[in-house]
Every structure is written in C-alpha cells, then in structure tokens.
C-alpha cells in the first residue's frame, strides 16, 4: 500500500510540514523506521529517537515543538496515537483484501453455501450446510463445521476450528488456533466416585465486531447458547466455559478463565490471569484486576482485586498491613521478651 503525505494528511485531518509528495509503503516504530516508512511520536519518552529516526514521515501533535534539524516530513494531527492506529487498520485491511478465491486444496461440502466474494485457504474444510457470507477470509488449515454460519467480512486466521452449529457475526477477527464450540467441561459425579460425561448439545454465538486472540477457547453450551456479545475483545489463551454470556464491549486479557454459566456485563475490563467462578453475575462497567480470584457476584461499577477478590480500595488497605506483618511479628516478640 503506497500513500503520499498529502493523501495521509487528508485522511487524518492533519497538516503537512515538508514535502507533500513524499511516499511511504510501510508503517514502523520510531526507533526502527527506515526510508519509505511512516512512524509517530505520542509518548514523550520517545522524543530521543526523533533525531535518529530514518522515517520519511512522522506523525506528531499540533503542539509539539521540533527543536532539531530533520530530513523527514511532519504531519501534525490532533492525536498521533489514534491517527497511527487508524492507518494500521487501513494497512491491515488492504493486506486482507488481497486474498481472493478458493484454493485448490480446500474441501467444501456440496451443501455448503459459500459467497463468491470470499477467500478459502489451503486445506481448509467447510462442512455440510455451512454458510459463508460475502467478504469472509478463511486462511489455511481451518475447520468450519456442519451448520456453521459466518457473517460478512469476518477474518479467520490459520488453524481455527469453528465446530458444528456455531454462529459467527460480521466483521469479527479470529486469530490463529482459536477453537469455537468445543465441548463444555460437564461431568456428573457418581456414588462410585466415577464421572459420567454430560452431553454438550448447545452452541456458541459470537456476535458482531468481536476479536478473539490466539489459542482462546469458547465452549459450547450444555443446552442453549454460550454468547459473546457485540464488540467483545478476548486476548490470547482465554478460556470461556459453557453457557457463559459476555456483555457488549467487555475486554478480557490473556490467560483468564470464566467458569460455566457466569454472566458478565457490558463494558467490563478484566485483567490477565483472572479467574471467575461459575454461576456468578458480574455487573456492567466492572473492573477486575489481574490475577484476581472472583468467587462472588459483583455489582455495577465496582473495581476488585485479590484472591479472593475484594473491593479495590479495601484490598490496598489490607495489603499495606500485610506487608508490615513481619515487622509486627518482630515487635511483638520484643514485647513478649520484655513481659
């Protein structure tokens, strides 16, 4: 993708300072940028790289004063970070849109409905009665099961499995290794001490504009649906158990796990390695700090931390005391000696 400074400034509502016709074909970090690339400066700690960068174009804010001699062209914008992100999105989309057609090694069942405007990669399998809508890109070595529906413009990276009866909405991104619709962890204990597997006959519904990180798994419901609502973002290595529902625009960081039948509200932020027990209700706008262990319901707007998780402020008050326990013990022993 080739762009000139004038075009970029128009896209970003920015102002060019320098050569309006300088061309770039890549995006880069300021410290590693080379000629022909565009970079940005948003964080003050990276100003030291400005005198050394070899980028052709640098995005900066309107109020940044440049005190060095430079060969690069500036584009001044309201928010360099947001502007650079928008360009990243455009570059990524242009790369995806280059993929068209169906590779010869793909296997598509005769009953599947596959739109003409799709890409199906090498060794990918499309099962019976699957529906693949316009603009979908499915890379190599994927399995799309029976009765699966995938909405418009969804991008599925390599080695993804979307198993039978599951539904994926529009404009979703599934990264490499994702598994949608694996069996929920359901076993009935017997008097003998053995466990009998409970059939998992529900499905998973992933709605629109959802992004799911590499090697994340979402289990199908025992009955009914496991639901991932609009705009949810799941990091790598996240486990979502059967019959969980995650509210719109909630984000969950890596290595977190949500146990069965828990309902998580809208606009929540859940840190890495958090664990949430089953059958809980987590309200809207909740913040769960990394490595928290949640064993109780959480009302709207609360922030929690710790294991077991407690109110964020209470946790830090307790932690201050906890750090002082060795000192308390020493002082107590000295007092005992005196007594």
Domains and CATH numbers, the chain: 3-97 (3.40.1390.10), 101-313 (2.160.10.10)
**Identified catalytic residue from 109, 242, 249, 279:** 242
pLDDT, tens digit (0-9, with 9 covering 90-100), for 160-215? 999 999 999 999 999 999 999 999 999 999 999 999 999 999 999 999 999 999 99
Q: For 298, which DSSP code?
A: B
Q: Which residue has the tokens 């809980």?
A: 280
Q: For 43, which DSSP code?
A: S
Would you call 4 helix, strand, or coil by DSSP?
strand
Q: Could you tell me the pLDDT band of residue 70, with boundaries at 50, 70 and 90?
A: confident
Question: Which of 134, 172, 174 lies closest to 152 in space, CA to CA?
Answer: 134
How many of the other CB atoms lie within 10 Å of CB of 205?
Answer: 21
Dig out the tokens for 63 from the structure: 């109020």
pLDDT, tens digit (0-9, with 9 covering 90-100), for 76-124? 999 999 999 999 988 887 776 677 899 999 999 999 999 999 999 999 9
pTM for the predicted model, two decimal places: 0.82
Main-chain phi, psi angles of 47, to 5 degrees:
-60, -30
242 is catalytic: yes
Please give, one letter per residue, the 3-state secondary structure of 215-280. CCEEECCCCCEEEECCCCEECCCCEECCCCEECCCCEECCCCEECCCCEECCCCEECCCCEECCCC
Distance CA 54, CA 57 (A): 9
How many of the other CB atoms lie within 10 Å of CB of 277?
Answer: 16
């Amino acid at each position: 993708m080739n762009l000139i400074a004038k075009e970029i400034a128009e896209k970003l509502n920015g102002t060019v300072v320098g050569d309006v016709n300088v061309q770039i074909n890549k995006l880069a970090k300021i410290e590693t940028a080379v000629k022909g690339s565009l970079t940005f400066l948003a964080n003050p700690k990276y100003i030291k790289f400005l005198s050394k960068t070899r980028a052709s174009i640098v995005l900066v804010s309107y109020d940044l004063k440049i005190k060095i001699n430079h060969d690069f062209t500036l584009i001044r914008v309201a928010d360099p970070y947001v502007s650079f992100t928008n360009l990243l999105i455009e570059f990524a989309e242009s790369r995806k849109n280059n993929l068209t057609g169906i590779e010869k090694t793909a296997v598509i069942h005769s009953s599947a409905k596959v739109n003409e405007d799709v890409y199906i990669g090498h060794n990918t399998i499309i099962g019976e009665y699957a529906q693949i809508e316009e603009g979908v890109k499915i890379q190599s070595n994927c399995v799309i099961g029976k009765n699966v529906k995938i909405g418009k413009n969804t991008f599925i990276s390599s080695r993804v499995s979307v198993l039978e009866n599951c539904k994926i909405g529009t404009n979703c991104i599934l990264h490499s290794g994702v598994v949608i619709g694996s069996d929920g962890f359901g076993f009935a204990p017997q008097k003998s001490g053995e466990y009998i597997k409970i059939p998992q006959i529900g499905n998973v519904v992933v709605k629109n504009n959802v992004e799911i990180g590499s090697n994340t798994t979402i289990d199908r419901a025992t009955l009914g649906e496991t639901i991932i609502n609009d705009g949810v973002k799941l990091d790598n290595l996240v486990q979502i158990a059967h019959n969980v529902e995650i509210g719109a625009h909630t984000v969950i960081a890596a290595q977190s796990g949500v146990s069965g039948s828990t309902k998580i509200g809208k606009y929540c932020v859940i840190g890495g390695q958090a664990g949430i027990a089953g059958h809980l209700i987590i309200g809207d706008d909740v913040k769960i700090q990394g490595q928290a262990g949640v064993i109780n319901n959480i009302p709207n707007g609360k922030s929690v931390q710790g294991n077991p998780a407690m109110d964020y402020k209470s946790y830090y008050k307790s932690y201050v005391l906890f750090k002082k326990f060795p000192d308390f013990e020493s002082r107590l022993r000295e007092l005992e000696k005196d007594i």
